[in-house]
């Protein structure tokens, strides 16, 4: 345990913390019960939550006891956002999202063995909290000046929209979570993202005022790319962990596209590879960056962790089939459909559509004359096979699983044909 905090620092997983000596002594003295909260303000966890889950796994693997809190109560409120007031969801929607987050966390943390994680829901205590109890038993411990000075609160108060009392009260409820978990399970460490620092400190201070005990908090940095831009957005939005919102193939591709400037740092943050393994991959980035060995390992490790070995194998097979001339017919219709989902799309009719028409329909060429020239110069592949005949008529036998046909112009320009 003595090397745990140093390991987390080396991996870039620590931003701020309460008293370092107190925290170090606690972690070195024996198992610590800690928690991290996940609010169901969306139907799935995303890549930002994954950072918190990975910190929890590091702590759990070091022998500490994990509490995964799903905020069935705080999810009905929502913490203040810089972008403006949240739209409050119905209790049924929040309950459904909470179930989804719980199922994801059960796959990502270890709930078996000698040191199983425990799932908790703050609706169990917030749901029965009366307005009088909130004001009298909790509110008296919070100073308005401190609450108003929190960064996100101050920014929202200065905005045109302002801040509702609903979202303003969120910090009281999150602090109450820490107090309840301290009382129920002896929890003495809360972890979270650096944007939650003020809320985490609020819980720590509440325990000190109510119970007279010193507890700790620890935050991770907000992950950015080497150029300083925000990490984790795609054209489709967030990097969701739910395969229904982002397919394992698309998830794998996201990590595979990591730049050389970012890949080693992301291997430290998002995988459990040892220092030696990461240092070897760092050397490969320097000596043979064109092989993209580090990116392939990053994509494989994160995809296997989130979606499992079978989904990883399918994503790798689809990647090889699309981009390395692999066997497209070996893919299932669902995996192939996920792989070609974002490609330019045209249409074909068995026994009627020629290759010339197919190239124009798919957008690979703008006109028939250009399409004919490309095909006759052997510049078109159909399902990874060359075909130099511009008048070839596509047949039923050309269809891949799901009835699609893959066209490739040159090496990197892909399009898909869907059957009419």
The 8 Å CB, 24+ separation contacts for 164-167 are: 164/85, 166/77, 166/88, 167/77, 167/78, 167/79, 167/80, 167/85, 167/86
Low-confidence ranges of the chain (pLDDT < 70): 1-2, 233-236
Per-residue pLDDT, 235: 59
pLDDT per position as a tens digit, 122-150: 999 999 999 999 999 999 998 888 888 88
Q: Name the β-bridge partners of 386.
A: 381
Per-residue pLDDT, 1: 46
Q: Who contacts 334 (Cβ-Cβ below 8 Å, separation ≥6)?
A: 402
Residue 114 to residue 383: CA distance in whole angstroms: 51
CB 70 within 8 A of CB 105: yes
Binding residues: 35, 170, 174, 233
Binding residues for L-tyrosine: 35, 170, 174
pLDDT per position as a tens digit, 11-49: 999 999 998 999 999 999 989 999 999 999 999 999 999
What pTM did the predictor assign? 0.91
Per-residue pLDDT, 368: 95
Binding residues for ATP: 233
Per-residue pLDDT, 234: 64
Per-residue pLDDT, 80: 83
Residue 321 to residue 314: CA distance in whole angstroms: 10
Per-residue pLDDT, 236: 60
Q: Name the β-bridge partners of 233.
A: 238
């Amino acid at each position: 345990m003595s090397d745990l905090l140093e390991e987390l620092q080396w991996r870039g997983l620590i931003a701020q913390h309460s008293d370092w000596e107190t925290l170090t002594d606690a972690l070195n003295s024996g198992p610590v019960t800690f928690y991290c909260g996940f609010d169901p303000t969306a139907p799935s966890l995303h890549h930002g939550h994954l950072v918190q889950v990975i910190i929890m796994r590091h702590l759990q693997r070091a022998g500490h006891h994990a509490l995964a809190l799903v905020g069935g109560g705080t999810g009905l409120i929502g913490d203040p956002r810089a972008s403006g007031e949240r739209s409050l969801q119905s209790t049924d929607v929040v309950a459904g999202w909470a179930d989804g987050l719980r199922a994801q966390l059960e796959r990502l943390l270890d709930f078996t063995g000698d040191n199983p994680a425990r799932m908790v829901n703050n609706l169990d205590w917030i749901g029965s909290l009366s307005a009088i109890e909130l004001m009298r038993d909790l509110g008296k411990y919070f100073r308005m000046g401190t609450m108003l000075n929190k960064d996100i609160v101050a920014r929202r108060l200065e905005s045109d929209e302002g801040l509702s009392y609903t979202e303003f009260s969120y910090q009281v409820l999150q602090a109450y979570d820490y107090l309840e978990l301290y009382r129920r399970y002896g929890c003495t460490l809360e972890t979270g993202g650096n944007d939650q620092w003020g809320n985490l400190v609020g819980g720590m201070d509440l325990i000190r005022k109510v119970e007279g005990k010193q507890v700790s908090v620890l935050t991770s940095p907000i992950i950015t790319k080497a150029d300083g831009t925000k990490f984790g957005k795609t054209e489709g939005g967030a990097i969701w962990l739910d395969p229904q919102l982002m397919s394992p193939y698309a998830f794998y591709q996201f990590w595979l596209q990591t730049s050389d400037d970012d890949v080693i740092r992301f291997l430290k943050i998002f995988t459990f590879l040892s220092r030696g393994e990461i240092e070897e991959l760092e050397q490969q980035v320097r000596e043979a960056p064109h092989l993209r060995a580090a990116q392939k390992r990053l994509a494989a490790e994160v995809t296997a962790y989130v979606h499992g070995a079978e989904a990883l194998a399918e994503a790798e097979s689809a990647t090889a089939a699309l981009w390395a001339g692999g066997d497209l017919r070996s893919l299932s219709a669902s995996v192939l459909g996920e792989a070609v989902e974002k490609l330019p799309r045209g249409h074909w009719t068995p026994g009627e559509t020629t290759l010339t028409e197919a190239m124009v329909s798919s957008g690979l060429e703008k006109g028939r004359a250009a399409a004919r020239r490309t095909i006759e110069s052997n510049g078109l592949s159909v399902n990874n096979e060359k075909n130099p005949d511009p008048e070839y008529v596509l047949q039923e036998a050309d269809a891949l699983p799901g009835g699609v046909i893959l066209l490739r112009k040159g090496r990197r320009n892909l399009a898909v044909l869907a059957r009419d």
